[in-house]
C-alpha cells in the first residue's frame, strides 16, 4: 500500500492534519493518532477519488476497484471492493458459468428481457423457462424439448436461459449438436472424446441445439445420445433440446433403417427424452431478428 509522506519532525503540522481529519464525518468512529494517521490519509484520498469516479479503467486508487475502509468491530483498515468492481466480478463469474460450443455471439448475449412475447406459444415457453429457473432447487428438474420452424427463436431462448442460470450460480452447457457430433467423431481416438461425453453427462443443465439436423447414425444414437440420456435421467439432471422436428419426426429420424430393432432403440431414446424434458411447440412464426 502506498504511504502518504508525513514529516514527523513537524509536530505542529501533524497535529493540524489530525485535527482536520477529525472534523471529517468519514472519521467519526476512528480514534486518529500518529499510529494510524497514514492509513487515515490514504482512506481520505481514496474516498475523495471515489466521489469523482470516472470508471474502473481510470481508477486513481492504489488498487483499482478497491478503497481503504475502517472496520470498527475489528479496529482494522481493510481494502473493500467498490460497486463497479463488484459488478465486474459478478459478470466474470456469470460468464465462466455459461459454457457454449459452436454458438454465435447473438445467442451468447441473449436475454429474457429481449425475448418477444407476441404469440401464445412464446408466452407459454417464457413461463416454463421462468418456472424452471425459479424452482431449480426443487427435487424434480424437468427440462424442455422445444420444437418449431427454423428461425422461430428456439436457440435464442436457450441462450437466455443459460444467462439466467449463471446469475444463480448454476452451471450450464449450450451446444450446437451437429458440430458436437462432428467433433466427437474426429476425437474418437484421443482424450477429447471421453472429456466431452463426461461434460455432457455431468453439467448441471445441458442444452442441445438443433437436434435432428445432424447426420444420424447408429453410433450417434447408441454411443452418444443413449448413454448421455441414460446418465442424466438416472442422476435427475435436466436436459433442454431444440429441434426443427416434431417428436414424431424425431422418432423417424432416430429409427434409421426402420427395422424392428432400430424402432425399439429409437423409441427408447424418445422415452428418455420425454422423461427428463417436457415437449413444447414453439410455433411456426419466423422472426427476422435474433429473438
Question: Do 277 and 153 share a structural domain?
Answer: yes
Answer whether 208's CB lies under 8 Å from 175's CB: yes
Query: Is the backbone of residue 4 left (phi > 0), alpha (psi -120 to 50) or beta?
Result: beta
Question: Do 23 and 50 share a structural domain?
Answer: yes
User: Phi, psi at residue 72, to the nearest 5°?
Assistant: -65, -35
In this structure, is residue 263 part of a structural domain?
A: yes
In this structure, is residue 142 part of a structural domain?
A: yes
Question: Do 261 and 117 share a structural domain?
Answer: yes
Residue 253: how many CB atoms within 10 A of its CB? 17
Question: Do 221 and 264 share a structural domain?
Answer: yes
In whole angstroms, give the CA distance from residue 56 to residue 62: 12
Question: pLDDT value at position 281?
Answer: 93
Domain count, the chain: 2
Task: Tell the residue number behind the cell numbers 481503504, with chain if given.
Answer: 68
CATH number of the domain enclosing 211: 3.40.50.300
In this structure, is residue 86 part of a structural domain?
A: no
Range of the domain at 46: 11-81
Question: pLDDT value at position 209?
Answer: 93
> Which stretches of the chain drop beneath a pLDDT of 70?
1-12, 88-102, 104, 139-140, 285-291
User: Phi, psi at residue 107, to the nearest 5°?
Assistant: -75, -40
* Tens-digit pLDDT profile for residues 32-41: 888 888 889 9
**End-to-end alpha carbon distance in the chain:** 48
Question: pLDDT value at position 157?
Answer: 93
Amino acid at each position: 500500500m502506498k504511504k502518504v509522506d508525513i514529516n514527523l519532525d513537524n509536530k505542529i503540522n501533524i497535529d493540524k492534519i489530525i485535527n482536520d481529519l477529525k472534523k471529517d464525518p468519514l472519521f467519526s468512529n476512528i480514534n486518529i493518532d500518529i499510529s494510524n494517521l497514514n492509513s487515515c490519509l490514504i482512506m481520505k484520498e481514496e474516498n475523495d477519488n471515489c466521489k469523482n469516479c470516472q470508471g474502473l479503467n481510470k481508477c486513481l486508487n492504489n488498487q483499482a476497484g478497491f478503497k481503504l475502509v475502517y472496520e470498527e468491530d475489528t479496529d482494522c483498515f481493510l481494502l473493500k471492493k467498490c460497486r463497479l468492481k463488484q459488478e465486474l466480478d459478478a459478470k466474470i463469474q456469470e460468464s465462466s458459468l455459461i459454457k457454449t460450443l459452436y454458438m454465435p455471439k447473438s445467442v451468447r448475449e441473449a436475454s429474457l428481457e429481449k425475448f418477444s412475447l407476441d404469440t401464445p406459444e412464446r408466452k407459454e415457453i417464457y413461463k416454463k423457462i421462468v418456472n424452471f429457473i425459479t424452482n431449480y432447487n426443487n427435487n424434480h428438474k424437468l427440462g424442455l424439448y422445444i420444437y418449431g420452424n427454423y428461425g422461430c427463436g428456439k436457440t435464442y431462448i436457450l441462450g437466455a436461459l443459460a444467462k439466467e442460470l449463471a446469475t444463480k450460480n448454476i452451471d450450464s452447457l449450450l451446444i450446437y449438436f451437429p458440430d458436437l457430433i462432428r467433433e466427437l467423431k474426429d476425437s474418437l481416438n484421443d482424450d477429447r472424446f471421453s472429456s466431452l461425453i463426461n461434460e455432457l453427462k455431468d453439467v448441471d443443465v445441458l442444452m442441445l441445439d438443433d437436434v435432428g439436423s445432424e447426420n444420424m447414425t447408429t453410433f450417434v444414437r447408441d454411443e452418444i445420445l443413449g448413454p448421455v440420456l441414460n446418465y442424466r435421467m438416472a442422476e435427475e439432471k435436466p436436459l433442454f433440446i431444440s429441434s426443427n422436428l416434431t417428436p414424431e419426426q424425431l422418432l423417424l429420424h432416430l429409427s434409421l433403417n426402420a427395422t424392428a430393432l432400430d424402432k425399439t432403440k429409437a423409441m427408447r431414446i424418445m422415452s428418455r427424452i420425454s422423461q427428463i424434458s417436457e415437449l413444447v411447440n414453439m410455433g411456426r412464426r419466423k422472426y427476422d431478428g435474433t429473438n
